[in-house]
Amino acid sequence: MRVTFCCTDTKAQPWLEGLKAALPGAEIEGWKPGAPAADYAVVWAPPQQFLDEQKQLKGIFNIGAGVDALTKLRLPAGVPLVRLDDAGMSVQMAEYVCHAVIRHFREFDAYEADVAAGKWSYRKPSTRSDFPVGVMGLGVLGTRVAQALRQFDFPVQGWSRSAKTVAGVQCFSGDAGFQDFLSATRILVCLLPLTPDTENIMRRDTLQKLRPGGYVVNVARGGHLVDEDLIALIDSGHLAGATLDVFRTEPLPPAHPFWNHSKITLTPHTSARTLRDESIAQIAGKIRALSSGTPFASLAGLVDLKKGY
């Protein structure tokens, strides 16, 4: 069995060493143009040349939960694509989103500003029932986030393309439920996959439907958000602000207006980082299962290319 590794912006050696340890007996190599045909590929944003050359792949494993960088390429016909289904990312995402929601709800950003100015201040406590949180996307990460928010007694609702059930969460689905979901939400959390249907989903006409004083937390992809619409709605007072971890261009260009906006909190795409050891264990486990005769259809994380996730 031959496994090839092709990941841009990633140090290959630790991954190669980990895969070799997890798959003893397999040939594990980093990809170079003209490399021998492999059975399985472990990838992150590979070049089109890689996919064009590797014509005998049995499966492609992505070292992330989002596969939008891959679905933009010409994928080998009939080759299954498998994404990470957790590998330690869901707890990180839950931490990040809960921190962002609580920081806004408790007005810790305003306290920080007052302390920096040498001001001892007091603010009237807010009521959780006035801050319903809406989670867009109820996959593995979105479900974990929604469940974590419930632990802090926030009203939580979720929206997904297809109907889902999450204990303690009011779930909406499809186009029919989208408007009701938005109008019931004050803090909007985006955890959707980026597809043609979800690109620009957070724009003026959708964000205007949030409750007055709405707040946006984007931890999915920059392409979900229309930047200028967010700024306009914050400046108009309809939205209270945003916490953004993902952007259309990364790193965020120095001249981008997000940098200097007092009501927008930025982090450098760090809400849920890929944990190498956990990811290697998950991918290697799936490759071993396939080698033992387990069908691809039974693997967690199998991507439906028609849906894009």
pLDDT at 239 over 90: yes
Q: Are residues 188 and 81 in the same domain?
A: no
The alpha carbon of 209 is separated from its chain's Cα centroid by a whole number of angstroms, namely 23
pLDDT at 9 over 90: no
Residue 304 lies in a domain: no
Residue 306 lies in a domain: no
Confidence of residue 70 (pLDDT cuts 50, 70, 90): very high
Residue 187 lies in a domain: yes
- 261, 269, 276, 288: the catalytic one is 269
Distance between CA atoms of residues 296 and 294, nearest Å: 7
Look over the chain and give the mean of its residue pLDDT values, rounded to a whole number: 97
Neighbours of 64 (CB within 10 A): 20
Q: Known catalytic residue: 269?
A: yes
Q: Which structure tokens are listed for 157?
A: 């609702």
CATH number, domain at 95?
3.40.50.720
Distance between CA atoms of residues 178 and 198, nearest Å: 12
Residue 10 lies in a domain: yes
Predicted pLDDT at 263: 98
SS3 for 307? coil
Confidence of residue 135 (pLDDT cuts 50, 70, 90): very high
- 161, 186, 211, 221: the catalytic one is 221
Confidence of residue 153 (pLDDT cuts 50, 70, 90): very high
Q: Are residues 134 and 148 in the same domain?
A: yes
Confidence of residue 37 (pLDDT cuts 50, 70, 90): very high
Q: Are residues 94 and 18 in the same domain?
A: no
| Mean local confidence (pLDDT), 20-48 | 97
Q: Are residues 244 and 117 in the same domain?
A: yes
Give Cα separations from 155 to 90, 112, 242, 256 (angstroms): 20, 26, 19, 34
Q: Are residues 121 and 27 in the same domain?
A: no
Residue 303 lies in a domain: no
Single-letter residue type at 189: V
Predicted pLDDT at 35: 96
Residue 244's domain spans which residues?
90-266
Q: Are residues 97 and 246 in the same domain?
A: yes
Q: Known catalytic residue: 186?
A: no
Q: Are residues 136 and 147 in the same domain?
A: yes
pTM above threshold 0.75: yes
Distance between CA atoms of residues 281 and 276, nearest Å: 9
Q: Using N-to-C axis directions, what is the helix angle for 140-150 and 89-105, rounded to 10°?
A: 40
Q: Are residues 237 and 283 in the same domain?
A: no
Q: Are residues 95 and 229 in the same domain?
A: yes
Q: Are residues 182 and 283 in the same domain?
A: no
Instruction: Using alpha carbons, select from 48, 61, 74, 52 the residue that is nearest to residue 3.
Output: 61
Instruction: Using alpha carbons, select from 95, 119, 139 the residue that is nearest to residue 243.
Output: 95
Instruction: Using alpha carbons, select from 296, 64, 87, 76 the residue that is nearest to residue 194.
Output: 64
